């Protein structure tokens, strides 16, 4: 280990970082710089999308309209979803993939570095287009992120801007996915067989295939919207012989794999963090890989559970109900394996572990409500209510976002070379975990009591829980301001991090010094000679 450290440190002195701000960041082909760009971009979008959510919760604080016109309210729900899904969560995972996959598999960089630069720099243009719709005549998109026709075709000048923005985001995701697959398939260090890869790499490999399969479907759907609106086609127009429900089938054929695109990398992150802070390798590694693959397969045959109320034949409803219920089996296997990793372990509670444990509990709650939603007859009552809103925020906020937070706290010392402020990080965690439950748990009650989603105003019996939820929302939103401050502080200095950072961390990335040198693994590591290089699930003796 010592020799690796000093050799890399010597290399660090002439690491050929490009000089000058624009030269460094605009034209970079370095996977670490591009990873950083993705993560910073994602953080900015997280706060823009979050500010939309704050407006929504302010309006819903009490009955009656106080701040937003109903049309503007609909714009806020639509833009909140689009920005959070395509701007915050997906780019955050791509940023983590860029940073960590080459480090974890012992590759010097991503396989296609120039395409990597391109796939990032598409995103600022996509979101400039999308956010510019807030200022165009006719208002920004307000038909929901699901863009169902015929409603979405009532959008004003913003419609083509939104569609082109979605095309750009899709192109960026597809390019990123190709890069991940080519890198993992071709650039693993000698000796790292597929079934020795860290779980984060595995989940990203599977996610990348989902992206390549799903994003073109979305592109097709929005292109048909475009031609319906501007070129007189009738794909979704019943009056012209089209079918508005067909859009929903196509959209959710993309949309359900998309849900797993946003959670599989999170599974990978949790599978890295829990073993490290349990002091022993992941329990049931092979089962975890197969469970991930099963979830990915099932994600393509469950889409219509988003549309149980659309009036499908009985046989379709039965099929989609049963296939959806099946998903809980591989997901259960994952939760059980994570829990059993802690069993007979040596569990410590550093910030990354706190986020991972919160994920374990709260994502499971999202799983329970998901199982309830799978039951088609009961879904007739849940569909399009706040029960659904509570469900998908439990899986996306306390699932995906909490995993991303955990990942940043896990790998930040490796990126900056400094330990961060542990006390402040724990404050950030505890404030978040308390407020997020105050924010989303009462929404289960609201939904069951009969409050529909996407409404700017509500009947007076819904007031109490909406007030509680809004207070939780403001608390959660404000707590997140600690996060960029903490990262900024850590990037400026602090206690010097060791190469391994965490006592029981295993894997190639911990073999490198902290911060990871600008060019790492120029020479592929040999799996046999490394102190901590054995994959996280194998015991090195």
Partner 1 sequence: MITRMLSLRHTALAGLALWLLAPTAQAAWTLNMTPGISAMSREIYSLHMLMFWWCVGIAIVVFGFMIYSMVHFRKSKGAVADQYFLHSNRIEIIWTLVPVLILISMAVPAARVLVLTEDPVATELSIRVTGYQWKWGYEYLDTGVTVVSTLSRDSNRARQLGSGIDPYSVPNYLLSVDHPLVVPAGVKVRVLITAQDVIHSWWVPALAIKKDAIPGFINEAWFDIDADKTGTYRGQCSELCGRDHGFMPIVLEVKSKADFDLWLKAQRDALKQPAATTASATTTTPTG
Interaction residues for partner 1, span 233-252 (CB under 8 A): 238-239, 243-245
496 binds partner 1 (CB under 8 A): no
Active-site residue 260, yes or no? yes
CA atoms within 13 A on the CB side of 422: 8
Q: Is omega for the bond preceding 150 within 30 degrees of 0, making it cis?
A: yes
Residue 285 and residue 187 in contact, taking contact as beta carbons nearer than 8 Å: no
Q: Which of residues 123-142 bind partner 1 (CB under 8 A)?
A: 142
Between helices 482-492 and 422-449, what is the axis angle to 10°? Answer: 160
485 binds partner 1 (CB under 8 A): no
Question: Using the 8-state DSSP alphabet, how is residue 369 labeled?
Answer: H
Active-site residue 334, yes or no? yes
Q: Is 540 left (phi over 0), alpha (psi -120 to 50) or beta?
A: beta
Angstrom distances, CA of residue 473 to CA of 21, 201, 426, 476: 37, 33, 19, 5
Q: Which residue has the tokens 């559970």?
A: 305
Instruction: Name the residue among 80, 181, 166 with its Cα closest to residue 123.
Output: 166
Q: Which residue has the tokens 């599977």?
A: 206
DSSP letters, 408-444, are HHHHHHHHHSB---HHHHHHHHHHHHHHHHHHHHHHH
Q: Which of residues 457-476 bind partner 1 (CB under 8 A)?
A: 457-462, 464-465
297 binds partner 1 (CB under 8 A): no
Compute φ and ψ for 482, nearest 5 degrees: -60, -30
199 binds partner 1 (CB under 8 A): no
150 binds partner 1 (CB under 8 A): yes
CB of 298 to partner 1, least distance (A): 13
- Give the residue, chosen from 284, 475, 477, 494, that forms a contact with partner 1 under the rule CB under 8 A: 284
Nearer to partner 1 among residue 26 and residue 329 (C-beta): 329
Instruction: Name the residue among 493, 518, 263, 515 with its Cα closest to residue 394.
Output: 263
- Choosing from 4, 207, 271, 341, the catalytic residue is 271
- Give the residue, chosen from 87, 91, 141, 281, that forms a contact with partner 1 under the rule CB under 8 A: 281
Active-site residue 306, yes or no? yes
321 binds partner 1 (CB under 8 A): yes
CB of 390 to partner 1, least distance (A): 13
Nearer to partner 1 among residue 261 and residue 298 (C-beta): 298
Stretch that binds partner 1, among 104-112, 455-463, 483-491, 524-532 (CB under 8 A): 455-463
- Give the residue, chosen from 230, 380, 430, 485, that forms a contact with partner 1 under the rule CB under 8 A: 380
524 binds partner 1 (CB under 8 A): no
CB of 376 to partner 1, least distance (A): 5
Angstrom distances, CA of residue 282 to CA of 184, 306, 435: 21, 34, 30
- Give the residue, chosen from 455, 471, 482, 524, that forms a contact with partner 1 under the rule CB under 8 A: 455
Active-site residue 541, yes or no? no
Stretch that binds partner 1, among 118-126, 159-167, 340-348, 523-531 (CB under 8 A): 340-348
349 binds partner 1 (CB under 8 A): yes
Active-site residue 3, yes or no? no
Nearer to partner 1 among residue 200 and residue 285 (C-beta): 285
> What's the token pair of residue 342?
């802690």
Nearer to partner 1 among residue 38 and residue 235 (C-beta): 235
Q: Which of residues 382-441 bind partner 1 (CB under 8 A)?
A: 383-385
Three-point CA angle 143, 145, 151, nearest 5°: 25
Residue 510 and residue 422 in contact, taking contact as beta carbons nearer than 8 Å: no
User: What CA–CA distance (Å, rounded) separates 300 from 249?
Assistant: 12
Question: What is the rounded radius of gyration, in angstroms, for the C-alpha atoms of the chain?
Answer: 23
311 binds partner 1 (CB under 8 A): yes
Active-site residue 509, yes or no? no
Active-site residue 172, yes or no? yes
257 binds partner 1 (CB under 8 A): no
Three-point CA angle 360, 366, 372, nearest 5°: 135
**Length of the chain in residues, anyone?**
541
- Choosing from 31, 196, 453, 519, the catalytic residue is 453
Residue 102 and residue 64 in contact, taking contact as beta carbons nearer than 8 Å: no
Task: Write the interaction track for partner 1 spanning residues 157-176; mark x where CB under 8 A is met and - where it is not.
Answer: --------------------
Active-site residue 426, yes or no? no
309 binds partner 1 (CB under 8 A): yes
- Choosing from 172, 276, 292, 299, the catalytic residue is 172
10 Å CB burial of residue 23 (0-12, 13-18, 19+) is exposed
Widest pairwise Cα distance in the chain: 74
What secondary structure, in 3-state letters, does 187-210 show? CCCCCCCHHHCCHHHHHHHHHHHH
Q: Which of residues 36-75 bind partner 1 (CB under 8 A)?
A: 63-66, 68-71, 74
Residue 158 and residue 226 in contact, taking contact as beta carbons nearer than 8 Å: no
27 binds partner 1 (CB under 8 A): no
Nearer to partner 1 among residue 115 and residue 347 (C-beta): 347
CB of 503 to partner 1, least distance (A): 9
- Give the residue, chosen from 185, 194, 329, 481, that forms a contact with partner 1 under the rule CB under 8 A: 329
Stretch that binds partner 1, among 19-27, 85-93, 203-211, 355-363 (CB under 8 A): 355-363
Stretch that binds partner 1, among 110-118, 218-226, 411-419, 442-450 (CB under 8 A): 442-450
> What's the token pair of residue 520?
């790492």
CB of 212 to partner 1, least distance (A): 29
Stretch that binds partner 1, among 312-320, 394-402, 483-491, 525-533 (CB under 8 A): 312-320
Catalytic residue numbers read 80, 109, 145, 172-173, 256, 258, 260, 271, 305-306, 331, 334, 453
């Amino acid at each position: 280990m010592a020799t690796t450290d000093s050799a890399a440190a010597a290399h660090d002195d002439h690491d050929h970082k490009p000089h000058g701000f624009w030269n460094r960041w605009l034209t970079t082909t370095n996977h670490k710089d591009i990873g950083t760009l993705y993560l910073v971009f994602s953080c900015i979008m997280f706060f823009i999308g979050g500010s939309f959510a704050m407006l929504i919760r302010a309006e819903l604080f009490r009955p009656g309209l106080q701040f937003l016109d109903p049309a503007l309210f609909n714009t806020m729900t639509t833009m909140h979803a689009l920005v959070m899904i395509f701007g915050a969560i997906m780019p955050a995972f791509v940023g983590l993939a860029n940073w960590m996959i080459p480090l974890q598999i012992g590759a010097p960089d991503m396989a296609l570095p120039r395409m990597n630069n391109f796939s990032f720099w598409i995103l600022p243009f996509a979101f400039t287009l999308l956010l510019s719709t807030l200022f165009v005549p006719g208002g920004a998109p307000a038909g929901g992120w699901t863009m169902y026709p015929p409603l979405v075709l009532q959008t004003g000048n913003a419609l083509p801007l939104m569609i082109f923005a979605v095309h750009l985001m899709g192109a960026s995701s597809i390019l990123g996915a190709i890069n991940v697959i080519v890198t993992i398939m071709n650039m693993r260090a000698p000796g790292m067989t597929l079934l020795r890869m860290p779980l984060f790499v595995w989940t990203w490999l599977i996610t990348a295939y989902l992206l390549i399969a799903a994003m073109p479907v979305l592109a097709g759907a929005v292109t048909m919207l475009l031609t319906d609106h501007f070129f007189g086609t009738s794909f979704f127009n019943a009056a012209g012989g089209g079918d508005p429900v067909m859009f929903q089938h196509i959209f959710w054929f993309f949309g359900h794999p998309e849900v797993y695109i946003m959670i599989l990398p999170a599974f990978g992150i949790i599978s890295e963090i829990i073993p490290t802070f349990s002091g022993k390798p992941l329990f049931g590694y092979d089962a975890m890989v197969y469970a991930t693959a099963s979830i990915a397969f099932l994600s393509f045959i469950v889409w219509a559970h988003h549309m149980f109320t659309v009036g499908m034949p009985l046989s379709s409803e039965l099929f989609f109900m049963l296939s959806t219920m099946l998903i809980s089996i591989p997901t259960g296997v994952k939760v059980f394996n994570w829990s059993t990793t802690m069993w007979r372990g040596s569990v410590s509670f550093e910030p990354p572990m706190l986020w991972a444990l919160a994920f374990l509990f709260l994502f499971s709650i999202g799983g329970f409500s998901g199982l309830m939603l799978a039951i088609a007859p009961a879904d007739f009552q849940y569909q399009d209510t706040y029960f659904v809103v509570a469900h998908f925020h439990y899986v996306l906020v306390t699932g995906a976002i909490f995993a991303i937070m955990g990942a940043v706290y896990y790998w930040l010392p490796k990126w900056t070379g400094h330990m961060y402020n542990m006390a402040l990080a724990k404050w950030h965690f505890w404030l978040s975990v308390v407020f997020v439950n105050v924010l989303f748990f009462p929404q289960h009650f609201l939904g069951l009591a009969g409050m529909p989603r996407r409404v700017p105003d509500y009947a007076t019996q819904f007031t109490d829980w909406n007030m509680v939820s809004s207070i939780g929302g403001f608390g959660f939103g404000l707590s997140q301001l600690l996060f960029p401050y903490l990262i900024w502080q850590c990037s400026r200095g602090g206690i010097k991090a060791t190469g391994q950072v965490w006592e029981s961390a295993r894997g190639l990335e911990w073999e490198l010094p902290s911060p990871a040198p600008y060019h790492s693994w120029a020479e592929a590591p040999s799996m046999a000679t490394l102190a901590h290089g054995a994959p996280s699930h194998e015991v090195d003796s």
